[in-house]
Amino acid sequence: MIIQLDKEITPARKETVLRNIADLGYKSMDVHTQFSEYLVCVGKKEFDIRIIGQLPGVADVHRVSDDFKLVSRKWKVRPTEIDLGDEVKIRRGEVALMAGPCSIESERQVEGLADHLLANGVKIMRGGVFKPRSSPYSFRGMGLEGLRMFAEICRSRGIKIITEVMDAAQIDAMYPFVDIFQVGARNAQNFTLLDGLGKVDKPVLIKRGMSGTLEELLQAAEYVFSNGNEKIILCERGIRTYEQAYRNTLDLNAVPILKDKTHLPVVVDPSHGVGIRQYVASMALAAVMAGADGLLLEVHDTPEKAASDGQQTLNFEEAENLYLKVRAAADLLRG
Amino acid sequence: MIIQLDKEITPARKETVLRNIADLGYKSMDVHTQFSEYLVCVGKKEFDIRIIGQLPGVADVHRVSDDFKLVSRKWKVRPTEIDLGDEVKIRRGEVALMAGPCSIESERQVEGLADHLLANGVKIMRGGVFKPRSSPYSFRGMGLEGLRMFAEICRSRGIKIITEVMDAAQIDAMYPFVDIFQVGARNAQNFTLLDGLGKVDKPVLIKRGMSGTLEELLQAAEYVFSNGNEKIILCERGIRTYEQAYRNTLDLNAVPILKDKTHLPVVVDPSHGVGIRQYVASMALAAVMAGADGLLLEVHDTPEKAASDGQQTLNFEEAENLYLKVRAAADLLRG
Amino acid sequence: MIIQLDKEITPARKETVLRNIADLGYKSMDVHTQFSEYLVCVGKKEFDIRIIGQLPGVADVHRVSDDFKLVSRKWKVRPTEIDLGDEVKIRRGEVALMAGPCSIESERQVEGLADHLLANGVKIMRGGVFKPRSSPYSFRGMGLEGLRMFAEICRSRGIKIITEVMDAAQIDAMYPFVDIFQVGARNAQNFTLLDGLGKVDKPVLIKRGMSGTLEELLQAAEYVFSNGNEKIILCERGIRTYEQAYRNTLDLNAVPILKDKTHLPVVVDPSHGVGIRQYVASMALAAVMAGADGLLLEVHDTPEKAASDGQQTLNFEEAENLYLKVRAAADLLRG
Amino acid sequence: MIIQLDKEITPARKETVLRNIADLGYKSMDVHTQFSEYLVCVGKKEFDIRIIGQLPGVADVHRVSDDFKLVSRKWKVRPTEIDLGDEVKIRRGEVALMAGPCSIESERQVEGLADHLLANGVKIMRGGVFKPRSSPYSFRGMGLEGLRMFAEICRSRGIKIITEVMDAAQIDAMYPFVDIFQVGARNAQNFTLLDGLGKVDKPVLIKRGMSGTLEELLQAAEYVFSNGNEKIILCERGIRTYEQAYRNTLDLNAVPILKDKTHLPVVVDPSHGVGIRQYVASMALAAVMAGADGLLLEVHDTPEKAASDGQQTLNFEEAENLYLKVRAAADLLRG
């Protein structure tokens, strides 16, 4: 059960609500977000939910039988809209494009990419400065210095930034420079990180784990929401299967199903998803038709020379062609 | 190495070609199909392929390093077109619709479906009469009698038929009534069946195994081709993964990759692929954008009452909406 | 519900039993095996099972809620024992060794192996004459001629034979020479083949499919049993997973669970299971401790020269060491 | 290439070694551990390794072509032995038992378990105080207070402690109370955590990720080693597959293969591995025969009442029976 409280509920009224919950034998957890205050209640007894609904100070009350609650569409049918400011939004009915390199490498690189994005009307740039790498001997990214440079160039051009955070301890230092915090597939169940991101007021994009179930992805989002942050985006990025013909198996089934289960926007990363450059465009278009609310695309001026893995990265021309087709597909779908 | 021989090659010239192959230490296999005669040669020695190419009676010669050879696009770049007669074709650049019930149940049912298809310009009807069922106690289909009835109704309306064959011993009896033989996922490596289907002159649609690799699917097609039948269609139908949120994981990555590797048409079965009715349309549209040359769709007038599993089956109205969107998506993709 | 009928039940009494079943709204299927006659009944109504149990001619009656019924341990607690004659048995409490080459290659090879087995007290020889191969261009086995030779050599030495049958049409021709019919992983859901093997009176070993569930394996066995053959052995042989460090992922979890669910013996094939020679012995011993009632082992006098894949094949010395350790482990487990 | 330096190498000699590496076009990384100093060198040029080997100050030099290097058995054949003090060791040729509850719940519980372990000669107790939970609303463990109590009770009885650390920020506070830091499956690629554990001088047990490859597990260990900590234990704990008959698929194939690839000890967690109480003992014994150097077992005085999941937890009597059988199996294997 989710109880949404009035914004200005008095302490006495809240006390009464809590007492009623306790009397029912339910446990409740108090959740304050940027937007509202909720009581998430867990218990087993059957009762008439209107008992709670009619209490003064209660704005709304819903039963939610799923294990994930605040992110469930059973409670909130209206889709969540992520507002990044300056008219940049991620929301249902549109396909937000987020493009850029795997790793931030240099000022020259970022400037070139920013120009490319501006010229094509793409308003969000992706780029890693902390890179999770299987091997300790691989390039681990430019770090905070790189992020500062990345942010400076993008802000001066009105471009928003999405970048990966690998550890709760990095959140504060990254905060001033980031528009969307990205949680990578390897951290999809790093609960300390998710708790931490629930305490900041910036959007969080959570990638599905390498073998993460949709239920686990929704639970990861529940961690962020229940810590106080409603600004969450879910991302399908390919799962592990027995098939070795591609690097990951992009699972587009996840898109319609997640959109059915949650009010959060759902985006797709076809670059990591299939992991082979020549197939990225087909999978990106398929993702749009499956209902994706946005795409994360790897783009580089010279993919062959990318500091990190360039096997799945489009060059400018390929990316430009794809942006056009994606928009046409989005138009078609919107009807 | 694949050597395509002249249609009218003389025995003496063929003898010379074979001697040359033997001299190189290569083994060759003679393949006669509806359309041509080939020598598929396997060996290790490096040599100038023109030695073979210039021999009288040799139409063409290609190196093919893949384990699958005759179905490879390395040898034959021009896409294979499946001609079912009466202007019904399955080929690249179009999206052939094949719709119908999981199981053929009754005359009334088939007639209703045939009318539905005709009204919507769908020219191929799917429907099972031999059903592979996990349990020996489940309904196993109407059998040959059902097939005869199915064929009669469809032929009188100019509709083509695709139905599953489960065993090599059924081929002859089914032959007069079938337009496309379907090999189900459970038989994707039933080599006796594939050998048998290589010996008839009717198209064969091969579904990917439940955990079949793309390589195995191509090898299954190689069985059919090397036995003499070039009329082959490949079908993605969902694979087994750890995820339990849907019945199978429809793997659309397979579409662009298969189309890159083979000259055969590639179709998708989103009904079995995701296995849940409300998500079938999204996955069907995504399949089209991924490049599918056709779709297999489960449709029934009353899915709730279907003799076999109706969980993934669309009703007529849902199907009609989908046909329209599929055609619009196909138009968009064709540009 | 499974009703076991008296061996000599009169037609009138059987009629009464069937009428009672029909009156309950249950459907029944008549199953005659080598050993007994059963009625497998499926329905939903709750009723006192003693109504059936007290009818004249009924030997026993059991509720079985699983989808598989005749193979369930809920019905028959006493383990099934496979008697191959000449004191050779496969049964719980022992570890039956079945060893031999992937493919039968020559008289010399079979004789050498037979001598090796005799010297080591191994009484069952495995060896393929019909080989399911991914590629149509690979060696497909010596066929029926090879089987005849194989049988002749083994019979003269008192060794039993297990070999793979690939198609229902082969059963009759193979019957005189085979002691155990093996159904391979690729045919684990070839229902025509399973139906066929249910009609002969020889033991059938069914391998789990490449991505077969335990439920599907038990259902495959149900096909054989419900067609009239109770002599069934189940075999774990490795499943498909994302891991590429070995060829298959031998799934020993299957052993204790299958033994809990069915009365049939459960054996393990560690050779295909892990697929790499140097790890076969460890996995074989682990299988014994997990509770395997038998082992299928690939052995060859010169694995490097094996006609089929020798990567997973032990040589005589390795095999001899393993037989000893297996027996010691079996003794330990028996207590 | 791994260069092991003399313990007392002079700065000048080290300078010469580094110059030689640079001259070869190799990059080197300096690794100081509790036991030694290494230069891990990565490059492509072929050269006579003796050029480096003969330099003063170089103790040893090895080529290692794997992506993981310091943990490879190609470099260090002699197995690593983990010494926990008081004669408690984890090492090849023995099976170290680590038993205890999923979660630490109370003083009474820990005392009861400690007595049980002492009575059975088990010297390491497992127990979680920080629990990674899929849902934010589940019990997350007793935290640091619980750990202090846990440590106090165990130390007074000479029992060692293994417990999970979930975040790099927890390491310092946990350090005084922990004997082995456990990295859970969900953190198997939390590189910040692995880096942090590389900087402390206590053993680290790394569990394989839920869909982690063996290569990734070895790379995770490489993170710890290359940060300075050689005291590492690897743990197989079940992977994700399509099979739903058990909670995870315990993958015993991993045991012989890891022991072939690394000098680190390899242990198995059959409790999480199969995840169903009645099958734990069989899988534990199988793990021993596969070559496990230790076992992690969930034990509780009343599994039905466990604070965390008790489905896979043995009671005292079941555990006692298992310890005896494990020791008998270990004796048998040692020969």
Phi and psi (nearest 5°) for D205? -100, 125
Chain C residues within 8 A of D241 when measuring between CB atoms: 239, 241, 249, 251
Residues 6 or more apart whose CB falls under 8 angstroms from that of D219 comprise A134, A135, A136, D67, D68
**Signed CA dihedral, B277, B282, B285, B289: sign only:** negative
Assess whether C37 and C96 both reside in one domain: no
Residue B161, domain member (yes or no): yes
Which of C133, C136, C190 faces B187 most closely, judged by CB atoms? Answer: C190
Assess whether B38 and B183 both reside in one domain: no
Classify B46 as helix, strand or coil.
coil
CATH number for the domain that contains residue D42:
3.30.70
Query: Could you tell me if C42 and C27 are in contact, meaning their C-beta atoms sit under 8 angstroms apart?
Result: yes
Q: Which of B83-97, B130-144, C278-292, D99-113 has the lowest mean pLDDT?
A: B130-144
Assess whether C58 and C99 both reside in one domain: no
Which of A132, A135, A222 faces D135 most closely, judged by CB atoms? Answer: A222
CATH number for the domain that contains residue C123:
3.20.20.70
CB atoms within 10 A of CB D145: 10
DSSP string covering C49-87:
THHHHTSTTEEEEE---SS--TTBTTT--SPP-EE-STT
Assess whether C148 and C246 both reside in one domain: yes
Is A43 part of the contact surface with chain D (CB cutoff 8 Å)?
no
Per-residue tokens: D55: 């330099």
CB atoms within 10 A of CB D237: 25
Residue B77, domain member (yes or no): no
Identify residue D268 by its one-letter amino acid code: V
Please say which residue of A12, A34, A62 terminates a domain. Answer: A62
Residue B180, beta-bridge partner list:
B162
β-pairing, C2-5 vs C58-62, is antiparallel
Cα separation, A152 vs A125, whole angstroms: 12
Query: Could you tell me if D269 and D71 are in contact, meaning their C-beta atoms sit under 8 angstroms apart?
Result: no
Which of A214, A286, A328 faces B286 most closely, judged by CB atoms? Answer: A286
pTM exceeds 0.80 for this model: yes
Query: Could you tell me if D64 and D72 are in contact, meaning their C-beta atoms sit under 8 angstroms apart?
Result: yes
Contacting subunits of A (3+ beta carbon pairs below 8 A): B, C, D
Per-residue tokens: B133: 């069922």
Cα separation, D189 vs D215, whole angstroms: 12
Query: Could you tell me if C267 and C294 are in contact, meaning their C-beta atoms sit under 8 angstroms apart?
Result: yes
Phi and psi (nearest 5°) for A180? -135, 125
Classify B281 as helix, strand or coil.
helix
Compute CA distances D1 → B224, C235, D38, D53, D70, whole Å: 50, 44, 10, 11, 9
Residue linked to tokens 């027995």: A242
Per-residue tokens: C252: 């020993």
Q: Where are the beta strands (DSSP E) in B191-275?
A: 204-207, 232-236, 266-268
Assess whether A46 and A86 both reside in one domain: no
Residues 6 or more apart whose CB falls under 8 angstroms from that of D48 comprise none
Cα separation, A304 vs A310, whole angstroms: 6
Assess whether C291 and C154 both reside in one domain: yes
Residue D307, domain member (yes or no): yes
Is D32 part of the contact surface with chain A (CB cutoff 8 Å)?
no
Across the interface, whether the CB atoms of B328 and A332 are under 8 A apart is answered: yes
Residue A214 distance to chain B (closest CA, Å)? 7
Assess whether D45 and D115 both reside in one domain: no
Residue D75, domain member (yes or no): no
| Residue D24 structural domain | 2-62
Assess whether A139 and A46 both reside in one domain: no
Burial of B172 (0-12, 13-18, 19+ CB in 10 A): exposed
Residue A14, domain member (yes or no): yes
Q: What is the pLDDT of residues C144-172, one digit of tens each?
A: 999 999 999 999 999 999 999 999 999 99
Classify D165 as helix, strand or coil.
coil
**Signed CA dihedral, A11, A13, A15, A17: sign only:** negative
Identify residue C6 by its one-letter amino acid code: D
Mutate to test the interface with B, among A67, A214, A216, A243 (most CBs of B within 10 A): A243
Cα separation, B177 vs D67, whole angstroms: 58
Query: Could you tell me if D308 and D314 are in contact, meaning their C-beta atoms sit under 8 angstroms apart?
Result: no
CATH number for the domain that contains residue A10:
3.30.70.1140
Q: What is the pLDDT of residues B200-226, one digit of tens each?
A: 999 999 999 999 999 999 999 999 999
Query: Which of C309, B255, C333 lies closest to B269 in space, CA to CA?
Result: B255
Assess whether C90 and C238 both reside in one domain: yes
Cα separation, B228 vs B216, whole angstroms: 19
Mutate to test the interface with C, among D216, D217, D289 (most CBs of C within 10 A): D289
Query: Could you tell me if D264 and D92 are in contact, meaning their C-beta atoms sit under 8 angstroms apart?
Result: no
The ipTM assigned to this model is: 0.95
Residue B72, domain member (yes or no): no
Domains of chain D: total = 2
Residue B160, beta-bridge partner list:
B124
Each residue's pLDDT, cut to its tens digit, for chain D (335 residues) gives 999 999 899 999 999 999 999 999 999 999 999 999 999 999 888 889 999 999 999 999 999 988 899 999 998 989 999 999 999 999 999 999 999 999 999 999 999 999 999 999 999 999 999 999 888 988 889 999 999 999 999 999 999 999 999 999 999 999 999 999 999 999 999 999 999 999 999 999 999 999 999 999 999 999 999 999 999 999 999 999 999 999 999 999 999 999 999 999 999 999 999 999 999 999 999 999 999 999 999 999 999 988 877 899 999 999 999 999 999 999 999 87
Per-residue tokens: A43: 């218990």
Angle at Cα C137 formed by Cα C136 and Cα C139, nearest 5°? 100
Chain C residues within 8 A of A241 when measuring between CB atoms: 242
Cα separation, B208 vs B262, whole angstroms: 14
Task: Mark out the alpha helices in chain D (DSSP H runs).
Answer: 11-23, 50-53, 107-119, 143-156, 171-174, 191-197, 214-226, 254-261, 270-274, 277-290, 316-334
Assess whether A108 and A137 both reside in one domain: yes
Residue B193, domain member (yes or no): yes
Residue D7, domain member (yes or no): yes
Query: Could you tell me if D241 and D54 are in contact, meaning their C-beta atoms sit under 8 angstroms apart?
Result: no
Per-residue tokens: B82: 């499946």
Residue linked to tokens 């003064």: A56
Identify residue A107 by its one-letter amino acid code: E
Phi and psi (nearest 5°) for B232? -130, 140
Query: Which of D278, D275, D186 lies closest to A194 in space, CA to CA?
Result: D186
Assess whether D89 and D29 both reside in one domain: no
Give me the half-sphere count of Cα atoms (radius 13 Å) on the Cβ side of residue D122: 31
Cα separation, A29 vs A42, whole angstroms: 9
Residues 6 or more apart whose CB falls under 8 angstroms from that of D11 comprise none
Across the interface, whether the CB atoms of D222 and A135 are under 8 A apart is answered: yes
Assess whether A141 and A241 both reside in one domain: yes
Percentage of residues in chain B having pLDDT higher than 70: 100
Predicted confidence at residue B309, as pLDDT, reads 75
Query: Which of D304, D216, D309 lies closest to D271 in space, CA to CA?
Result: D309
Which of D245, D288, D329 faces C257 most closely, judged by CB atoms? Answer: D245
DSSP string covering D189-227:
T-HHHHHHHTTSSS-EEEEPPTT--HHHHHHHHHHHHHT
Give me the half-sphere count of Cα atoms (radius 13 Å) on the Cβ side of residue B196: 22
CA-based nearest residue in chain C for residue A243: C242
Question: Terminal CA-to-CA distance of chain C, rounded, Å?
Answer: 37
Query: Which of B296, B289, B183 lies closest to B231 in space, CA to CA?
Result: B183
Which of B213, B249, B252 faces A283 most closely, judged by CB atoms? Answer: B252
Identify residue C231 by its one-letter amino acid code: K
Is A287 part of the contact surface with chain B (CB cutoff 8 Å)?
yes
Across the interface, whether the CB atoms of C249 and D241 are under 8 A apart is answered: yes
Q: What HEC string does chain A produce?
A: CEEEECCCCCHHHHHHHHHHHHHCCCEEEEEECCCCEEEEEECCCCCCCHHHHCCCCEEEEECCCCCCCCCECCCCCCCCCEECCCCCEECCCCCEEEEECCECCCHHHHHHHHHHHHHCCCCEEECECCCCCCCCCCCCCCHHHHHHHHHHHHHHCCCEEEEECCCHHHHHHHHHHCCEEEECHHHCCCHHHHHHHCCCCCCEEEECCCCCCHHHHHHHHHHHHHCCCCCEEEEECCECCCCCCCCCECCCCHHHHHHHHECCCEEECHHHHHCCHHHHHHHHHHHHHHCCCEEEEEECCCHHHCCCCCCCCECHHHHHHHHHHHHHHHHHHHC
Identify residue C226 by its one-letter amino acid code: S
Classify B271 as helix, strand or coil.
helix
Query: Which of A56, A17, A71 lies closest to A231 in space, CA to CA?
Result: A71
Work out the pLDDT band at B195, boundaries 50, 70, 90: very high
Query: Could you tell me if C34 and C229 are in contact, meaning their C-beta atoms sit under 8 angstroms apart?
Result: yes
Give B 170-229 residues with CB within 8 A of chain D: 211
Each residue's pLDDT, cut to its tens digit, for chain A (335 residues) gives 999 999 899 999 999 999 999 999 999 999 999 999 999 999 888 889 999 999 999 999 999 988 899 999 998 989 999 999 999 999 999 999 999 999 999 999 999 999 999 999 999 999 999 999 888 988 889 999 999 999 999 999 999 999 999 999 999 999 999 999 999 999 999 999 999 999 999 999 999 999 999 999 999 999 999 999 999 999 999 999 999 999 999 999 999 999 999 999 999 999 999 999 999 999 999 999 999 999 999 999 999 988 877 899 999 999 999 999 999 999 999 88
Predicted confidence at residue C139, as pLDDT, reads 85
Contacting subunits of B (3+ beta carbon pairs below 8 A): A, C, D
